[in-house]
Amino acid sequence: MSTKSGKCEHCNAPLGHGAIKCSYCGGINDVDLKGHYFTLHEPEEERICAGCDQVMQTLNIRSSEAPFYIERCDNCLGIFLDNGEIDLIINDHDKLVHTIDHIRLGALKEIPRNEAVKYVKCPVCQKVMNRMNFGDSSGIIIDQCRDHGIYLDAGELQRIVSWVKQGGLRRNEQREALKKEDFQWREVFHAETRSQHNYDRRAQSFLRGLGNFIQHLWS
């Protein structure tokens, strides 16, 4: 989802900050694949949109020589990605990241979300999907079926790509490295503390034994 205001592609009315649905005509604006070339193909199997229960279309968003197929609903513009496909998409963008823009990452996380919490079914197996915060810290709540893939509401793919471009994955890597370093430091500290504790116990035991021995000599 864009962090900038724009105009509705259906009625040309102004869109609110980060909005994809026009408050004037009710149209949903395509921000995920806007300006992106794709072709329609016959699906290998029918997949039902988790957002509106319509049959999803199969799109090739790359070339015919190296196709990359995804499912998208023509009604609500929701997208379904098979397991592993989101990683292929974001890794291409992550390779180009050189700095972490903390300000823009914060702005992306603050984009208002007006939708109510709703649990939806997997387009493949129709089992209820799990809600999860993409990348643990992006603030983008997606729906995941562990067996088949993830469902994204309209605009969420664009928000994920923007989060990655601003260094979201790199920031996570830094945080994990700091957590690992902190854990290792704590382990060393606890090991030294245990070692000191054992030394103190041995010293106390030795002094008690020495005291008993001297007392025995003088008795």
Does 99 lie in the same domain as 51? yes
Domain that holds residue 194: 177-219
Looking at the fold, whether 140 and 192 belong to one and the same domain comes out as: no
Position 4 in a domain? no
Position 52 scores a pLDDT of 95
Beta strands 141-145 and 69-72: pairing type? unpaired
CA dihedral 20, 22, 25, 26 (to 10 degrees): 60
Whether 191 is covered by a domain: the verdict is: yes
Q: What is the largest CA-CA distance in the chain?
A: 106
Structure tokens at 141: 């709540």
206 and 157 inside one domain? no
Together in a domain, 134 and 213: no
The pLDDT score that the predictor gives to residue 88 is 93
Domain membership of residue 60 (yes or no) is yes
C-alpha distance from residue 42 to each of 58, 69, 71, 151, 179 (Å): 6, 11, 11, 20, 47
pLDDT tens, residue by residue, 66-122: 999 999 999 999 999 999 999 999 998 888 888 888 888 877 776 666 567 889 999
Same domain, 95 and 45: yes
Do 116 and 211 fall into the same domain?
no
> What's the domain count of the chain?
2
Residues 76 and 143 in one domain: yes
Residue 150 lies in a domain: yes
Phi, psi of 200 (to 5 degrees): -60, -40
Same domain, 79 and 111: yes
Residue 2 lies in a domain: no
Q: Which residues of the chain are modeled with pLDDT < 50?
A: 1-3
Structure tokens at 136: 């643990």
DSSP class of residue 101? Answer: -
